[in-house]
Amino acid sequence: MSQTKGLRRKARVLAFQVLYGLSFVPPHGGWTCDRIYNQSPAVRRETDEELILYARDLLLGIWRSLDELDEVIGGYSKHWKIERIAKVELAILRLAVYELMHKPDIPLKVGINEGIELAKKFGDGNSRNFINGILDAVARDIDTGKFKVTKNF
Residues 54-87 have pLDDT tens digits of 999 999 999 999 999 999 999 998 877 888 999 9
Please tell me the predicted confidence (pLDDT) of residue 29: 83
Q: Is 150 contained in some domain?
A: no
**pTM of the full structure:** 0.92
Q: Which domain holds residue 36?
A: 3-143
What's 91-151 look like in SS3? HHHHHHHHHHHHCCCCCHHHHHHHHHHHHHHHCCCCHHHHHHHHHHHHHHHHHCCCCCCCC
Weakly modelled stretches of the chain, pLDDT under 50: 1, 151-153
CA dihedral over 44, 47, 52, 55, signed as positive or negative: negative
Give the total number of structural domains in the chain. Answer: 1
- Report how far residue 46's alpha carbon sits from residue 96's, in angstroms, rounded to the nearest whole number: 22
**Letter string b/e over residues 2-13, b meaning 16 or more CB atoms within 10 A of that residue's CB:** eeeeebbebbbb
- Please report the pLDDT score of residue 149 as a whole number: 67
User: Residue 37's pLDDT is what?
Assistant: 94
Asked whether residue 36 is assigned to any structural domain, the reply reads yes
For residue 138, what is the domain's CATH number? 1.10.940.10
